[in-house]
Structure 1
């Protein structure tokens, strides 16, 4: 009977394990995670999950894993992959043989040079334990400094303000959400935060972060230091590729996989935040995505291909963020757009459609209260997948139903 081992007990690894059973795999499945928890969802950690702090939002409870005959090893670190023997070596000395191996090792927060990751007053947000450590500083009368104006930093700022903490957000680039979010939408987000009392400092050059017993300081290259009760660093993520590299597996901005998620070793696949893959919708461009839906989609796809399906990645990248009453959604990748068309939906909601030089829709970015943009972003996603070249005037007019463009 064959054995599939999954290293990485996050959203992607758990999804792959259950999908294997759903697709009829009858062999052994072992899911290995370094954290003490069963697999849980990470997006809530910067939103409602942080506000509540306990417990994590589990992908499934222990009974479901037992029912599906999935062995879950928690608090276990994989130290090495022995490709010749087809085995993984654990930190406790055990060795587990595999017939097929899935690496779903995820990513870790990018650190600032010279900053101790164990400083009580300087933290990062990736795990449930991180959220618990941050939660205590989110209260009236407390001051939080956030380094990084990406999704994590801004979501954390919104949550902190809801809980009454004073917030200063520091970004080294000229504006927040510089990577992958159009300036028009980033401006709306920044203004909404300012309305809530968040101080946003862009173009900042940080010389040092200092932690003490009673607080922390951000020292700038010029200007007076900023005092806070807690500093959270959220400046992006780094893929966890060390296991793959040490085993001689090809790495290229993540564990390099082909269109079926197979690595340079035919018995080993990789999926989720840790891997880079060619995207057919963008002429085979190699990308790495840190997104909840991508983790789910690739977990399911990896399961099929571990069983021999050889199905290519076909999903369109999709991202979302909730901040206050606003929801931001992006489908596709807008890099290389030659034309952008705006569609107003009312109540402050709008969508930007991004087309390449040949008129092909390559991305759509939207923002609005609640689910105001959700339906049209979903239809835009389908248009992108179909390689559509819609009429820009039709895209801009709210009177034109996107469904009709899809039918055409």
Structure 2
């Protein structure tokens, strides 16, 4: 006989890990305790608030240095970064691009912006991200390599790229995925939107794909208000990324010459200034977030029917959003738990609706996604702000 899930005990456990003086605990709130005011004031005082100014280049350099990539190109948001990344690896209309079914909608949308077709893959319970081993079995069945390119035998379309997303900051198992991409001639583009400060086998995420995308939305580990960045270790791709995201305008004192279709995806200087101040504090943010995660882990080790998700042994996670996973037999209790946390002033949320269930993507190809379906029904995100444990 299955014992009843004690929802009140779960809520009490969450509350015991959080500050007592706050009536409402947000899911993930930004922290502005560094040089944010000074850098933004400098933009206002000098008048450099838009797409040109010293903070854009400084932010790109600091970001490249931190992540260990050779080039970082700052853009207006993470979706724009991913859109350009797909263009840079040659995704064309009617191509298929493999993306996880369990992801934020921007991953699939970026594919659609290229007039390409998302092809949904299953997730791993170990990482919450794309499962490279299950994907290998699937590709062995439906894909073939011809003339150095991969094709879907069922649709006849080219499969151009695979886009792993590091879910909630937990790195995908990249080594087998890199090998798989090489064998099937797929371009690898990392959706690292959630994983700034996360490492796979000692190396920062964003270093495995030919191009990667990062986000600095208001609820991310650091924020520029909006904002994102394209990361790459390829010098030519880095130059082209900058060109494409600045309307493909050729340098000139006054003439408006554009040599290709470009995009006005530039990050304003005032946002980059905020990013510089945030990057300075990132090590402290990560320290505090890992301390909060450890507090949750210990507390929930004593609670039946639910587990606190921890980083895989090959990874160091930023613990962007902390995750509770209900046991399978208690999946039906998820919404009751979400409702109860809100009545106690604790903001929580379920994971995203699976991409293949959204109306615009229901006809897209997909493999068996039974693990993604299981995780979708059982995941709850709990408060994760860096100031909650310091």
Alignment TM-score, normalising by the size of structure 2: 0.29
The structure with the greater share of residues assigned to strand is 1
The structure with the greater share of residues assigned to helix is 2
Alignment TM-score, normalising by the size of structure 1: 0.28
Point out which structure has higher relative CO (alpha carbons under 8 A, 6+ apart).
2
